[in-house]
Structure 1
Amino acid sequence: MTTQAPPSTARAAGYAKGRATREEILDAAMQLFGEVGYHTASLREVASRVGISHPGLLHHFSSKAVLLAAVLARRDEVDEAAFQSDLDGGHDYFEALARIVERNAVRPGIVELFATLSAEATSPDHPAHEFFQDRYRTVVGLTTAEFERLRAEGRLRPGIDPRTAARLTVAVMDGMQIQWLLAADSPEDRPDMAEALRAQLAALLTG
């Protein structure tokens, strides 16, 4: 005699399995996009890494552009949640930024993904072009507002424009990621990205 799970249980199990597969696809795509870039990566390779068919992958993500958008959204959701948690825990804006950089130091795949895609996305026809434009606009805007607040408190060094300070801060974060990635085969030469960011901030602030 055989028994069957109630329909509701079966549906729940199917949903959980589908959810797990979706997460596996995102993990595999994130790694592959970081390794070879968006244009070179193929959905068939992502599917192969997850152990599903190409049509099976398309059931979850209808195109490579849709998959890329999901990967980028997932990355931002994780970082934004951690950033907000640090702010809620009493860290100021810039220390919360430094803590994101520290977390990235143990997530090389995330760093590689961002570095690769942000460079590719400078092309207007890249599907992530608008995403990165919006992202930089938002990050520079928020960081400018923080420097303006510090200037009002007398903590920004005289003669420094808040928006320029914001762009310098973002440039240090992105530039240190490139240096960090290039030193992957020489751990002793690998820079401390968070330390570099904190040093840059110290140079901009009076204390």
Structure 2
Amino acid sequence: MSAGKAPGKHGGYAKGRLRREQIVSAAAEVYADVGYHGASVREIAKRAGISHVGLLYYFPDREALLTAVLERRDEEDRAHVAPKDSSPQAAVQYLVDLADHNARRHGMVDLYVRLAAEAITEDHPAHGYFQAHYATTRAYVRRALGELAEQGALRDGVEAESAAVAFVALMDGLQVQWLTSPHEVDMAKVLGSFVQQLLREPSA
């Protein structure tokens, strides 16, 4: 292949990536508006400014597109928020910081809440994703709290397993309340307060 054709090839790849991103963004908007089951591929294509056939070239079925939307959400989380170090304190603070980050992503939080509610049925295409997501998040929190317990940093009576379940439940419940009353609910503040309730008072 001649050197003169490389830019066109790379340009084609870039154009394809851009088009995929446009489709994923449009799908996220439609899912947030009407849910996954209420979304049509034709409406998503219309919002993305592409034909129905053109959309199917990039995403051959609705499940592939839904997967891309959920993967986009996870990638954005990793890109904007990360633990500052490997300590259990940093692991827990990461989730508090993530709640603060989500307060600036109304559309994605709205989409997450709607899909999570829809996906409780086993036949929903996102059921497996959310099942794995919750299991992974609970394990992440449980591990961090377990390490804090080993350090003697948790209050008496706090059990890592149940506290991890409560932590994840609070995270998701706060998102629902924040969506309905964004000016009255500070997700990061409430989540941070809950963490403090789990920890021993620092020694004087």
Corresponding residue to 1:195 among 189, 195, 204: 189
CA distance in 2, matches of 1:49, 1:204: 46
Give the aligned length.
198
- Contact 2:81–2:101 at 8 Å: present in 1 too? no
Output the amino acid matched with 1:87: K
1:24-173 alignment runs, 5 A limit = 24-84=22-82, 86-88=83-85, 92-173=90-171
Quote the sequence identity (%).
Answer: 42
Normalising by the residue count of structure 2, what TM-score does the alignment of the two structures yield? 0.91
Normalising by the residue count of structure 1, what TM-score does the alignment of the two structures yield? 0.90
Q: Which residue of 2 aligns with 1:175?
A: 173
Output the amino acid matched with 1:43: V
Gapped runs of 5+ residues in structure 2? Answer: none
Output the amino acid matched with 2:126: A
2:10 is aligned with 1:16: no
**Root-mean-square deviation (CA), in Å?**
1.8
CA distance in 1, matches of 2:91, 2:106: 23
Gapped runs of 5+ residues in structure 1? Answer: none
CA distance in 2, matches of 1:150, 1:35: 41
Measured after TM superposition, the shift of residue 49 of structure 1 is 0.6
CA distance in 2, matches of 1:11, 1:88: 41
Mark the CA change 1:163 to 1:123 in structure 2 (over 3 Å): closer, same or farther: same
Once the two structures are superposed, what CA deviation does each residue of 1:167-186 show, in whole Å capped at 9, x if it has no partner? Answer: 111111100100011125xx
CA distance in 2, matches of 1:29, 1:105: 21
CA distance in 2, matches of 1:192, 1:28: 28
Please list every run of at least 4 consecutive aligned residues from structure 1 whose deviation after the TM superposition is greater than 6 angstroms: none
Measured after TM superposition, the shift of residue 88 of structure 1 is 4.3
